[in-house]
């Protein structure tokens, strides 16, 4: 495997133009995300530089552009608010999040992260979009962002709307109109966010000196921020780091899938996690905010001709050059201009596609989505994600349980629900009054164990119980003990039990857990045969004895 996945120089011209275009698009967003995070605009640029460079250099998606994103910024804003008196711990959390992403890769979890239910992702992302919009309402209308995070801002909305600073509001809403309404063809040539940033800044600088601006921004290379651990805060730090790692990984891999569909290529999930993890680790080390694969910037890069990691690395190096000399210019950017850009980002993050289908979508999924959305906005991001995963998992177990129970079919006498062969049907016709056959289809797991035990019921006339496991791919521990309970109950009634068609893995579990011990009670015993036909022949033989 090449050191840089997908690297070659055959697309040099396209990569140069793609990297340049992506950098132009990333500049206003990096500044805006830095401000929104609470760390500062320069931290957004540092995040774009370091995450963008190392994710491209070491990642597994050649055309992907990485940097600060809306979801990662919202999480970082909450983290920075929690550790505002200990900012070094906030940057340590970023480094820990990067380390967790590297660990995910080492454990080969790249493909498993995609198993997060869509409804949870939808609710979480939509909630983050709503948070971004709420937090930017104050700056958009000329006010400093109220304290207290989302709830503080939400409760402060009446006072904001009662005292709108119209000079700032007109500029901010104008910026929002530009980024929203600029024609797509023109947007490909001149990114709308950059156009809005320049126009808005020039208007304020020349005509509206009373509108608040970013002010002095440090330039030059960042200082190293060595990791620090406060053991009294360690559980909370680990929790936030895991959220950053999970969200960054999901965000990046979803963008990788989009890049694959556009470029007709295939990314390497676990390698992408290494690149993202190292990028975030270095970003935290140098005072940058965390990032992930950025869908919009990636598509801009691809459309401009970028196809290899060279475009992503070039985009980061261009931003680094701007960092080293941009401070005096960026200091004049108004807060309301960045707020207008971020409101559009928040609107784009909301999953409008799912919301439009909510009336027709399965009710359980819609409930999960809205619960996660509400918890994300008004309670806590960790609680929202964890609650969504638990509820979605329990619903999945319930559905699987119902399917497993429906798959248990009882055959008594000469019934032919399972399309028996002529020989099998003959045995059932002759000895059906004494034989009960239960056919299982699909896995036998903990969810259906109790229900299975209740369904497998014998009476005193039944001498043989056949458990047909031909179509069972796996049995877990709880399922195995449920089968054992059925066997024990059948023996107490004096019936013999025959297991039919268990595959080697199923048989191994049953044997290791003692289900196949074959302890006899009188004439009752447990037998195992390879096929259902062999089980019916054995049953006929036992009845004749």
Q: pLDDT tens digits for 28-44? A: 889 889 988 889 888 99
Q: Is the pLDDT of residue 18 over 80?
A: yes
State whether residue 120 is helix, strand or coil: helix
pLDDT at 216 over 90: no
C-alpha to C-alpha distance for 71 and 68, rounded to whole angstroms: 9
pLDDT at 254: 83
What is the DSSP annotation of 164-221?
--HHHHHHHHHHHHHHHHS-HHHHHHS-HHHHHHHHHHHHHHHH-TTS-B------SS
- pLDDT at residue 519 in the model: 47
Lowest mean pLDDT among 128-142, 431-445, 530-544: 431-445
pLDDT band, residue 300 (cuts 50/70/90): confident
The full 3-state SS of 367-417, as one line of letters, equals HHHHHHHHHHHHCCHHHHHHHHHHHHHHHHHHHHHHHHHHCCEEEECCCCC
The pLDDT of residue 447 is above 80: no
Tell me the CA distances in angstroms from 498 to 477, 527, 540, one per residue in order.
20, 5, 12
Contact indicator for 312, 293 with CB cutoff of 8 Å: no
Cα 344 to chain centroid distance, Å, stands at 23
Q: What is the mean pLDDT of the chain?
A: 85
> How many whole angstroms separate alpha carbon 207 and alpha carbon 216?
20
What confidence category does residue 175 fall into, taking pLDDT thresholds of 50, 70 and 90?
A: very high
pLDDT at 522: 42
Q: What pLDDT band is residue 370 in, cutting at 50, 70 and 90?
A: very high
pLDDT at 454: 65
How much is the average pLDDT of 223-230?
Answer: 88
440 pLDDT tier (thresholds 50, 70, 90): confident
What is the percent of the chain where pLDDT is above 90? 28
């Amino acid at each position: 495997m090449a050191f840089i996945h997908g690297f070659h120089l055959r697309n040099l011209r396209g990569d140069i133009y793609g990297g340049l275009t992506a950098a132009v698009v990333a500049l206003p967003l990096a500044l805006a995300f830095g401000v929104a995070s609470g760390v500062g605009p320069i931290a957004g640029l540092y995040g774009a530089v370091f995450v963008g460079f190392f994710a491209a250099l070491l990642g597994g998606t050649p055309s992907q552009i990485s940097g600060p994103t809306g979801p990662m910024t919202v999480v970082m804003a909450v983290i920075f608010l929690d550790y505002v008196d200990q900012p070094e711990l906030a940057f340590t959390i970023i480094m820990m999040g990067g380390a967790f992403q590297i660990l995910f890769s080492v454990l080969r979890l790249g493909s498993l992260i995609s198993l997060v239910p869509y409804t949870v992702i939808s609710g979480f992302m939509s909630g983050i979009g709503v948070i971004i919009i709420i937090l930017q309402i104050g700056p958009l209308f000329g006010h400093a962002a109220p304290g207290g995070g989302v709830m503080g801002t939400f409760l402060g909305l009446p006072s904001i709307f009662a005292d709108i600073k119209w000079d700032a509001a007109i500029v901010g809403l104008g910026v929002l109109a530009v980024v929203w309404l600029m024609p797509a063809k023109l947007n490909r040539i001149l990114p709308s966010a950059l156009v809005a940033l320049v126009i808005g800044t020039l208007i304020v600088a020349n005509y509206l000196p009373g509108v608040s601006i970013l002010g002095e921004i440090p330039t030059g290379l960042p200082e190293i921020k060595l990791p620090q651990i406060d053991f009294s805060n360690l559980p909370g730090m680990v929790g936030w780091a895991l959220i950053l790692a999970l969200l960054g990984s999901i965000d990046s891999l979803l963008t990788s899938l989009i890049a694959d569909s556009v470029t007709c290529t295939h990314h390497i999930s676990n390698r992408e996690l290494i690149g993202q993890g190292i990028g975030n680790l270095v970003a935290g080390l140098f005072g940058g905010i965390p990032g992930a694969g950025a869908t919009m910037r990636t598509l801009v890069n691809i459309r401009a001709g970028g196809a290899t990691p060279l475009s992503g690395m070039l985009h980061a190096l261009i931003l680094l050059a701007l960092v080293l000399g941009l401070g005096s210019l960026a200091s004049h950017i108004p807060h309301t201009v960045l707020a207008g850009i971020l409101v559009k980002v928040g609107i784009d993050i909301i999953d409008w596609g799912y919301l439009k289908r909510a009336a027709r979508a399965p009710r359980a999924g819609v409930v999960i989505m809205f619960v996660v959305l509400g918890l994300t906005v008004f309670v806590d991001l960790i609680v929202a994600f964890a609650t969504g995963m638990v509820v979605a998992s329990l619903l999945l177990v319930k559905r699987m349980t119902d399917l497993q129970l429906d798959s248990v079919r009882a055959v008594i006498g000469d019934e032919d629900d399972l399309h028996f062969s002529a020989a099998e049907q003959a045995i059932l016709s002759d000895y059906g009054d004494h034989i009960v056959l239960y056919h299982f289809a699909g896995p036998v797991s903990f969810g259906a164990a109790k229900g299975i035990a209740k369904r497998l019921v014998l009476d005193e006339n039944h001498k043989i119980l056949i458990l047909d496991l031909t179509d069972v791919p796996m049995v877990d521990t709880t399922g195995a003990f449920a089968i054992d309970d059925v066997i024990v109950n059948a023996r107490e009634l004096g019936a013999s039990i025959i297991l039919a068609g268990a595959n080697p893995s199923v048989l191994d579990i049953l044997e290791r857990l003692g289900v196949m011990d074959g302890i006899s009670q009188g004439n009752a015993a447990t037998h195992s045969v390879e096929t259902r036909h062999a089980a019916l022949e054995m049953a006929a033989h036992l009845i004749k004895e």
